[in-house]
Amino acid sequence: MSDSKHGEAKKLFIKTYGCQMNVYDSERMVEAMVADGYVTTERAEDADMVLINTCHIREKASEKLYSDLGRLRPLKAAKPDLKIGVAGCVAQAEGGEIMRRMPLVDLVVGPQSYHRLPEMARSGLKSIDTEFPTEDKFSLLPKRKAARGPSAFLTVQEGCDKFCAFCVVPYTRGAEVSRPVTRIITEARDLVERGVRDITLLGQNVNAYHAQATGLAGLIRALAKIDGLERIRYTTSHPNDMEDDLIAAHGDEPKLMPYLHLPVQSGSDRILKAMNRKHTAQQFLRVIERIRAARPDILLSSDFIVGFPGESDADFEQTMDLVRSVGFGMAYSFKYSSRPGTPAAEKPEIDAALADARLQALQGLLSAQQREVQHAMVGREVRVLYDKAGRMPGQMVGKSDHLHAVHVTDPDGKPGDLVRVRILASSANSLAGARISGI
The answer to whether 306 and 336 are in contact (CB under 8 A) is: yes
Tens of pLDDT, residue by residue over 362-398, are 999 999 999 999 999 999 999 999 999 999 999 999 9
Q: DSSP string of 143-193?
A: PP-S---SEEEEE-EE--S---TT--HHHHT-S-EE--HHHHHHHHHHHHH
Residue among 215, 150, 138, 225 nearest 184 (CA): 138
Q: Which of the 8 DSSP states describes residue 348?
A: P
Name the pTM for this structure: 0.82
Tens of pLDDT, residue by residue over 43-68, are 999 999 999 998 876 657 778 888 99
Our measurement of the distance from residue 303's CA atom to the centroid of its chain's CA atoms, rounded to an integer in Å, reads: 13
Tens of pLDDT, residue by residue over 399-434, are 999 999 999 999 999 999 999 999 999 998 899 999
Tens of pLDDT, residue by residue over 130-168, are 776 655 666 666 665 666 789 999 999 988 999 999 998
SS3 245: helix
- Residue 305: what pLDDT? 97
Domains, the chain, ordered by start: 10-129 (3.40.50.12160), 142-374 (3.80.30.20), 381-438 (2.40.50.140)
CB-based contacts of 351, cutoff 8 Å, min separation 6: none
State the chain's maximal CA–CA distance in angstroms: 67
- Residue 55: what pLDDT? 82
Q: Tell me the β-bridge partners of 127.
A: 107
Report the distance separating Cα 230 and Cα 375, nearest Å: 26
- Residue 144: what pLDDT? 59
